[in-house]
Amino acid sequence: MIFLDTNFLVSFFIEEEDDHDRAVEIAKNIVNEEQIISRLIIAETANLLHNKLKIDNERIKEIYKELNRDYTLIEDHYFYDKALDMMLNLNKRVQFFDCVFITIMKELGIKEIVTFDKHFENIGGITTVN
């Protein structure tokens, strides 16, 4: 099992993103692994595509459908309380969304996350794939 972060997914789906080629390469390497995302990943991805990147609405709908269809989807609201505790007790500032993802990974025994973000390194034994 491997967890997929929003920035990886956006880079994978959007050819104009700087890390697109790297994301496609990583996707080929993890094709045989169970790829985990959460509802917050979908929400964060849709928000980024719409508000920051201003992607066409039809393309956003296509990506939304793919995220719901092609990945193992975790209902993440069960992890919010533990994620809040984590966020408030870390020695560095980490966004709530990311604390939810880390909590999901810990609770489900997922050791790797595909991300281009550095702040996941050195938290709870998580290994980043980038």
Q: Which CATH number belongs to the domain containing residue 13 in this structure?
A: 3.40.50.1010
Look at residue 109 in the predicted model and tell me its pLDDT.
95
- Give the Cα separation of 84 and 90 in Å (integer): 10
Look at residue 122 in the predicted model and tell me its pLDDT.
74
| pLDDT band, very low/low/confident/very high, at 124 (cuts 50, 70, 90) | confident
CB 65 within 8 A of CB 29: no
Q: Which domain holds residue 8?
A: 2-129
CB 114 within 8 A of CB 4: yes
The helices-and-strands tally (H runs, E runs) of the chain is: 6, 5
| pLDDT band, very low/low/confident/very high, at 45 (cuts 50, 70, 90) | very high
The model's pTM: 0.94
Strand residues in 18-105 grouped as ranges (E): 35-38, 72-74
Compute φ and ψ for 92, nearest 5 degrees.
-135, 160
Domain count, the chain: 1
